[in-house]
Structure 1
Amino acid sequence: MLPLLLSLLAFNLRPAFAATAEQWRSRSIYQIITDRFALEPGAVVNECNLADQTWCGGTWKAITQNLDYIQNAGFTAIWISPVNQNYQGPKTAYGDAYHGYWNADISKLNEHFGTADDLMALSAEVHRRNMYLMVDVVVNNVMSTSLKPDWSTYYFTDPADYHPYCPVDFSNITSEQDCWLGDTTVPLPDLNTESASVVSKYGAWIQDLVQTYSIDGLRIDAAKHVKPNFWPGFAKSAGVFCMGEVFDPLVANVAPFQGASLDSVLNYPLYYALVAAFGLPGPQNMSALTTVLTQGSAYQDTTVLGNFLENQDIPRWHNLSVDPQSHYNAMTFSFMSDGIPIVYYGQEQGFSGNADPFNREALWPSNYTNTTSYQLMTTLNQLRNYMINTTDWATQKTNVLTSDQHGIAFQKGSVITVLTNIGSPAQNLTNTAFQSPWSQGTVTIDVIACRQFVVASSGYLEVEYTKGGVPVVLAEAGSLQKSGLCSTVFTALHDSSTGPAAVAQSSALRSLRASLGMDSLITLLLMTSLGFGSGWLM
């Protein structure tokens, strides 16, 4: 009897993982809408017609059963959609609450996604794999089908817990924080987070949620629409890393939410800059990207910002940009610059849905294929994870070495990344040459193409795009020998009888290079006349 009692006490007193911003800095996140990621074995497979805006059958148990797909790509954390009870009435004009953002009684779980045991099992399995669990929470509002809701159906049952109805004026920050989001068809009653009662109940709820399910971090929906002075107390009660959604393109409007209010914010200004810089068709405005980087000093800490190209509120990248090279270059930036990279499920499969609900596709029809994008994410994660685990790379700040209309080169730690917005078609242009940090004789590796370059006297780098543009990520060969990356290159470096030029590449490397267009789309020249040797591995 005593062992059982001790076991129960240990279960009830288990601590939350309480991961800090410093710990999250080293992570990369795969974002999931629970209803759309995976089905349990034996589940009825429906067409998941996006226009129907209804349940398609994904569950927490199905996520648990498919974590290999995420971990094998090198991701070290997952972010799942809200877990709490949502609206349960008849289907609305905007569909059902399959996404999880239409809160009702947050003290209960959403039964469509499983049981408390299922969510605990998911958390346990995530942690067994040394990954982190981030859960989306909605604090600003609940959901209704009327401007006069039945308050008894919510966690907050007192009408005084809500701001009086008013439509939002998005040009006025007070209105954004006090008025109701949504519309008169599906209004979103706004919580009065200045109320001591609301503050107290929210604090108790989030503390219990985090501790019960051992949650490592929170993504906070619509953080911009709550007065900033609410967040410090809420975050303290949660006791874990908090990343807020501040849906705004301007650094000046987003940055103030990081620091005293929240640990981090989703980097919407960077997202808009990446679209402007790399989207095809698009303005190809690389200066938009460099401007956002220059404004980074407004943030308390750029290394924990959430970098993304897609999420449930914006069109898929492939909907905005038809050229796959634009995706590869923009994605490489989000991994290799300051911040925590976030990949929205299906991005690796090239999903192309427009805004809600068409950007919330079911993943299972893809058969979880090992696509070119999936392979590139795997390589970027492998490099990033290795650099973080062996150096202070995560805390190093991004330094732009050069940029022009068509490209940008930047350094973070001991890694140099060269990106372009020209896409797949051949372009008769050359990126501006720049001084590298490496001394003469240094052997460097482009980890994406697995090519070797030796630095000569001057240390200049020049990238030519006469056959199209792909991302280039360079690191010193000596720093990568235990990384598992480009193993054939290191075999060659240690095989004096054959030499680098004679090395046969693995089939996986050939596949990735061919898919990215390495063999036909780009010529990377480390010019002897500019200080680099001309040899490489093909």
Structure 2
Amino acid sequence: MKKMILILITVFIFSSVPVQAKVQKENRLWQDESVYSIMIDRFNNGNTKNDADVNAKDPNVFNGGDLQGIIDKLDYIQDMGFTAIRLTPIFDNAKNGYHGYWVKDFYKIDEHFGTMKTFQELVEEAHKRKMKVMIDFVTNNVAASHPWVSDTSKQDWFHEKQEINDWNNQAVVENGWVDGLPDLNQDNPEVKKYLIDAAKWWIKKTDIDGYSLPEINNVPVGFWKDFSKEVKKEKKDFFLIGIMSKNTSTSLKEYQLSGIDSLFDSSYNDQLRRTLATTDQSFSTLYSNTGDSQSSFLRPNFMDDEYTVRFTNDIVKERQFPGSRWKTALTYLYTTPGIPIFYYGTEIALNGGEIPDNRRQMNFRTEKELIDYITKIGELRNQLPSLTRGTMEILYDKQGMVVYKRVYKGETSVIAINNTSKSQKVILTAEQLAADKELRGLLGGDIVRSRDNQYILILDRDISEIYVLTEKSGINYTLIGSLILVNILVFIFLFLLLKRRKNKKIE
């Protein structure tokens, strides 16, 4: 009798839990990934033995973060739903080159970060977790102290020293020295070969999955055509993402044709920041530039990076609450076409102004509210192919209240974001969504059923919801039957138990 009751109670519990189908994405594509971007020196110090010349109180020198520190936090990153990591340059750098962009040796890991063995372990551990790894590969310049600079036989490896005074003149942009660093001449066949050979060597040596390419617009497009062709021979689906120092005259199409898979668009980022740092701003300037989810050229969706002021800084200037603003921003980034690129520290709303203030040390002792939200939307993005591969259609947009749908192979997701200063009501029609179904909320648990061929959405201020369109759930007769049966059996069990006790007393 006891066993039977336990079985029925178990059936009851599981039948009462709403079923959320987990759609397994076949053959993961780069557009399915979400990337956690790390400045190595500022993330986590996992090995104090490599802390030579480290001063954690000085933002202009090495602070102690290293590759072992990243290995130690891979589970932390994965638990938030991230499927890839991006690292600032790991190559040996000049004194105080904590950021990695003052390269002295393209074939050596900086001693502050660790060893080749440690980096190989990092890639291996990431791959065990089905996470991809990309690193910055610098091609535009080297450190002023690089041996090539004083080598008389390599003077034609560099452009003559000149400042960039006209960012609309591509020749000036490509030949000018950025931040006074010796500018490499990629038109020189020896320079081109050296850089391509080094890039191929790292793929073979470490099995990384992609390169992010700083100052891509400061290097001739012709170089990228040869570079992408050669490095992609080394590994299937190897990914190249370009980072522009500033918007220049070279079109995105030219980079796409040269083999670059994705390109940071600072103008789109500016629009994101203006729209989402405060409330009651129309989304129209954003979705008009969202792009085609079916396009082979993927947009990185990012709010900030190591070159920009922290988005939290924008929020504070607008006298807004960072947690709410970040939730809204990340919901939009995670549910529109493109690849979310998430700068370390976002999960704690890390603040910071201009360089180097935007590169503060990570703090892992913090409130978990924002982390929990990121984990949830990351989980949904990994489960629902429509959020990464679906078409996108705006259903409603008015002064900060936006509703759009993503559709992929019969799966329809509906995203509602209330970025206004008050509660909002939106009515969707049968022309926009199939009638006689229901919208099941996956963030807040809201359920909206079709009535008279309409769906009525009501959202409080600063609240977002991700719905999936499903058949109406109706009455759960199995649940009701199980509940009645369990109650009857519990009553019988208690009755027999009392009767047995009475019989024992009589004896």
TM-score (normalised: structure 1): 0.74
Q: Deviations over 1:181-207 (max 9, x none)?
A: 11xxxx111111111111111111110
Structure 1 residues 106 and 357: alpha-carbon distance in aligned structure 2, compared to 1, 3 A threshold? same
**What is residue 171 of structure 1 aligned with on the other side?**
168
Instruction: Point out which structure has higher relative CO (alpha carbons under 8 A, 6+ apart).
Output: 2
Task: Find the counterpart in structure 2 of residue 405 from structure 1.
Answer: 399
Q: Does 1:313 align with 2:307?
A: yes
Aligned residue for 1:56?
63
1:472 aligns with 2:473: no
Segments of 5+ residues of structure 1 without an aligned counterpart are 1-20, 89-95, 480-488, 500-538
Is the 2:170–2:249 Cα contact (8 Å) retained in structure 1? no
Larger Cα Rg: Structure 1 or Structure 2? 2
2:382 is aligned, of 379, 385, 403, to 385
Larger CA deviation: 169-178 vs 113-122: 169-178
Q: How does 1:58-457 map to 2 (within 5 A)?
A: 58-88=65-95, 96-144=96-144, 151=148, 158-169=154-165, 170-182=167-179, 187-239=180-232, 240-248=238-246, 253-280=251-278, 284-293=281-290, 296=291, 301=295, 304-322=298-316, 323=320, 324=322, 325-363=324-362, 365-367=363-365, 369=366, 371-388=368-385, 394-413=388-407, 414-422=412-420, 426-427=421-422, 430=425, 437-457=432-452
Per the TM alignment, residue 250 of structure 1 is displaced from its structure 2 partner at its CA by 8.7
CA distance in 2, matches of 1:318, 1:492: 45
What is the distance in 1 between the residues matched to 2:287 and 2:432? 20
Deviation at 1:429, TM superposition (A): 5.6
1:112-160 CA-partner distances (Å, limit 9, x unpaired): 1000100011011011111101111111111327xxx753579x97110
**TM superposition shift of 1:75:** 0.6
Deviations 1:337-357 (A, max 9, x none): 101111111000110111211
8 Å CA contact 2:395–2:432 kept in 1: the answer is: no
Q: Report deviation, 1:460.
A: 3.7
| Percent of aligned positions that are identical | 23
Q: Distance in 2 between matches of 1:214 and 1:287?
A: 41
- Note the C-alpha offset of 1:395: 2.8
Q: Which residue of 1 aligns with 2:33?
A: 27
8 Å CA contact 1:31, 1:79 repeated in 2: yes
The code of the aligned residue for 2:441 comes to D
Q: Deviations over 1:487-538 (max 9, x none)?
A: xx99999744799xxxxxxxxxxxxxxxxxxxxxxxxxxxxxxxxxxxxxxx
Please name the residue that 2:487 is paired with: none
Contact persistence 1:243–1:263 (CA under 8 A): yes
Question: In 2, Cα distance between the equivalents of 1:383 and 1:429?
Answer: 24
Where do residues 469-508 of structure 1 align in structure 2 (5 Å cutoff)?
Answer: 469-476=462-469, 495-496=479-480
Amino acid at match of 1:427: K
Compared CA separation, residues 60 and 41, structure 1 to 2 (3 A): closer
SS of corresponding position for 2:417 = strand
Q: Hey, which of these two has a bigger chunk of strand by percent?
A: 2
User: 2:428 & 2:138 partners in 1: Cα distance?
Assistant: 48
What amino acid is the match of 2:116?
Answer: A
Query: For 1:56 and 1:77, how far apart are their aligned partners in 2?
Result: 24
Q: Name the TM-score, length of structure 2 as normaliser.
A: 0.78
Q: Cα distance, 1:376 vs. partner?
A: 1.6
Write the letter of the residue equivalent to 2:438: V
What is the DSSP-based 3-state SS (H/G/I as helix, E as strand, rest coil) of the residue aligned with 1:292? coil
| 1:27-79 deviations in Å (ceiling 9; x for gaps) | 11111111111122667898833x54111111111111111100111111111
Aligned residues of 1:303 and 1:397 also touching (Cα < 8 A): no
- Pick which of 207-216 and 373-382 moved more: 373-382
- Count residues in correspondence: 440
The residue aligned with 2:9 is none
Question: Is the Cα–Cα contact under 8 Å of residues 315 and 355 in structure 1 kept in the other structure?
Answer: yes
Counterpart Cα distance in 2 of 1:259 and 1:177? 19
- Which residue is 2:501 aligned to? none
Contact between 2:91 and 2:109, CA under 8 Å: does it hold in 1?
A: yes
Give the drift of 1:22.
6.9
Contact kept in structure 2, 1:276 and 1:286, CA below 8 Å: no
| Unaligned runs of at least 5 residues, structure 2 | 1-26, 233-237, 484-507
* Equivalent residue, structure 2, for 1:521: none
